[in-house]
């Protein structure tokens, strides 16, 4: 049974104090493990403090990026071991903002996925098409290629199976979202591609949707068989809205 996952990606938002206030309010609402796993991915500067604040609670901690080397002269980078040391269990890899704005290649994404798995982190692998690719009818080809490249040569240890997030680039931060039907179709494709690439049953994979997802539309995305939760950007920055989103997603377990 696949347990839904609601993951907050704060991107470059929230100072140290803001993160702790958010965590305090979230813990008051989300006191017990519910039908969904809840994950917070703050900026690096808040990881250690937030890890201590949520320790022993149902809230999980993740990072927004990782480097592929274990240690060394790599100014500004952070290793899987450092993230685990802060309390992280998950890490986002290949977000479209890193692929686009930081020119992160499929090969770099692959190296980061391998580093995460080797370092006992669960990678959340992001895939998604641009508006130009969508208009050209290339959505399925683009996301399949991205996922295949991310998983190439990966040894996936038990207990650290990747999560895949379908985030159409044209929907992120735009206020526009894919239709629930489109998200379901892409999620089903990703499940098949994952089984082929990772040699792991596709029905074990958790697929998230991301891209202008909020409390008023999350239930629509999760009504099908293949979308297991969301990677949430802007709607995760206000604790009240994030709690409403979690509540809307509760009770939608996948078999």
Set 97, 104, 167, 193: catalytic member: 167
Radius of gyration of the chain (CA): 17
Dihedral over Cα of 32, 33, 36, 42: its sign: positive
The token duo for 147 is 């996922």
Give the pLDDT confidence score for residue 252 in this predicted structure.
Answer: 58
- What pLDDT was estimated at residue 233? 96
Indicate whether 103 pLDDT > 70: yes
167 in active site: yes
pLDDT of residue 33: 62
CB 115 within 8 A of CB 69: yes
Q: DSSP assignment, residue 2?
A: B
More confident residue, 161 or 118: 118
Please confirm, yes or no, whether 95 is among the known catalytic residues: yes
Counting every residue, how long is the chain? 255
**Would you say 93 and 112 are in contact if contact means Cβ atoms under 8 Å apart?**
yes
The whole-angstrom separation of Cα 126 and Cα 249 is 20
Quick one: pLDDT at residue 30?
82
CA–CA separation, 167 vs 232, rounded Å?
Answer: 10
CATH topology for 5-249 is TIM Barrel (3.20.20)
Give the span between the Cα atoms of 89 and 83, in whole angstroms. 8
Query: What mean pLDDT comes out for the span 237-250?
Result: 95
Predicted local distance difference test score (pLDDT) of residue 255: 46
Of 67, 71, 69, the C-alpha closest to 102 is 67
Which band of pLDDT confidence, cut at 50, 70 and 90, is reported for residue 251?
low
Asked whether the predicted pLDDT for residue 183 surpasses 90, the reply is yes
* Residue 44, burial from CB neighbour count under 10 angstroms (0-12, 13-18, 19+): middle
Q: Are 186 and 147 in contact (CB under 8 A)?
A: no
Q: Check whether 140 has a pLDDT greater than 50.
A: yes
Contacts 24+ apart (CB under 8 A), 67-73: 67/112, 67/115, 68/108, 68/111, 68/112, 68/114, 68/115, 69/115, 70/115, 70/119
pLDDT band at 160; cut points 50, 70, 90: confident
Backbone angles phi, psi at 110, to 5 degrees: -60, -45
At residue 168, the pLDDT reads: 93
pTM for the structure as a whole: 0.95
The predicted-structure confidence for 12-70, as pLDDT tens digits, reads as follows: 999 999 999 999 999 998 876 678 999 999 999 999 999 999 999 999 999 999 999 99
Which of 37, 95, 97, 104 is catalytic? The answer is 95
Q: How far is CA 65 from the centre of its chain?
A: 11
């Amino acid at each position: 049974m696949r347990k839904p996952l609601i993951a907050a990606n704060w991107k470059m938002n929230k100072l140290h104090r803001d993160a702790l206030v958010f965590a305090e309010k979230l813990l008051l609402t989300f006191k017990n493990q519910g039908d969904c796993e809840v994950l917070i991915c703050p900026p690096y500067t808040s990881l250690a403090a937030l890890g201590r604040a949520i320790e022993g609670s149902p809230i999980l901690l993740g990072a927004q990026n990782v480097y592929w080397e274990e240690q060394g002269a790599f100014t500004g980078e952070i290793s899987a071991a450092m993230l685990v040391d802060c309390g992280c269990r998950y890490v986002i890899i290949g977000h479209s903002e890193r692929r686009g704005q930081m020119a992160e290649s499929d090969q770099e994404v692959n190296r980061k996925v391998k580093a995460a798995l080797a370092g006992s982190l669960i990678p959340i692998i992001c895939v998604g098409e641009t508006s130009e690719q969508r208009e050209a009818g290339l959505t399925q080809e683009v996301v399949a290629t991205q996922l295949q490249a991310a998983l190439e040569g990966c040894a996936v240890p038990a207990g650290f199976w990747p999560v895949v997030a379908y985030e159409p680039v044209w929907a992120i931060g735009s206020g526009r979202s894919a239709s629930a039907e489109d998200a379901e179709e892409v999620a089903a494709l990703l499940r098949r591609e994952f089984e082929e690439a990772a040699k792991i049953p596709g029905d074990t994979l958790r697929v998230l949707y991301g891209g202008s997802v909020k409390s008023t539309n999350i239930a629509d995305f999760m009504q099908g068989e293949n979308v297991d939760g969301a990677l949430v950007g802007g709607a995760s920055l206000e604790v009240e809205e994030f709690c409403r989103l979690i509540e809307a997603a509760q009770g939608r377990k996948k078999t």
